[in-house]
A = this chain, B = another copy of it.
Amino acid sequence: MTAAAPAPRGRAASRGRIDKRQAILDAAFTVFANRGYAGACMEEIAEVAGVAKHTVYNHLGDKESLFHAAMEAAGSAVMAENLALAEQLTVDQSAVASTAGGQADPVRTRLEDVGRLLLHQCCDPRSWALRRLLHAEITRFPDLLEAVWGRGADRLRQTLADRMARLSLAGLLRPCDPVEAAEQFLALLTGPMEARSQLGTRPVPDAERELVAHAAVSTFLRAYRDAAPGASPSPSSLPATA
């Protein structure tokens, strides 16, 4: 994951000690998440990692480097999971054809599956901690954006846009800007979670996430598939209920 450690010194150092480096990175992320950058102290990080303070300095230099490395590692981990999910968003043509006249709806099902899974990861305490730290320190460490997001949320958006383009081209969605579709799909999914989870401080029950995913997909499909292509902007075309 964290692409080959910079090999602290001479030839040795890439021994069975790599797990110690990882333990330090994990501990660092935990402590930074709990206390914030300025509030975290190196001693506690060492303690949580089960390691002497000196060892932390030996492996990862000063506090700032440690922070950077810990954030990058956490970001890479989250990114890998998310990306794997987004790539699942494919609807094989056979499934579409075989249910052409039936009641099944493979596109909807697939979107809901992916949405559900994305929300699950997005609500993971680790994800929230990462997001919070990013928000917290972004003004003091602008490089974090590239290091954490450039390898995470950004590529997720791209991958998702690719899938949208495929769906649109296959006629499963109306013709649209796939980037915009991906952006709005993600917005519909994750937007509501911020308030519902109270910035990640409240655990959101599975059922509630399910609900949000369902609502997001419904709205998305209404807009990107079911809507009349040239829907008249005039209110005279309303169903005029009640």
Interface residues of A in 83-104 (CB under 8 A from B): 96, 99-103
In the bound complex, CA of A222 to CA of B234 (Å): 13
Q: Which of A19-27, A61-69, A186-194 is found at the contact surface with chain B? A: A186-194
Q: Which of A5-13, A31-39, A43-51 is found at the contact surface with chain B? A: A31-39
Q: How many A residues face the partner with a CB closer than 8 A?
A: 78
Flag whether A137 is at the interface (Cβ < 8 A): yes
Main secondary structure of the interface of A (DSSP, over half): helix
Chain A contact residues, CB within 8 Å of chain B = 33-39, 96, 99-103, 105-108, 131-140, 142, 145, 149, 153-154, 157, 169, 171-172, 174-175, 180, 183-184, 186-188, 190-192, 195, 198-201, 215-216, 218-229, 231-242
Contact, CB under 8 Å: A191 / B187: yes
A106 partner, pick from B172, B174, B175, B235, beta carbons under 8 A:
B235
In the bound complex, CA of A94 to CA of B36 (Å): 55
Question: Which chain B positions have C-beta within 8 A of A221?
Answer: 231
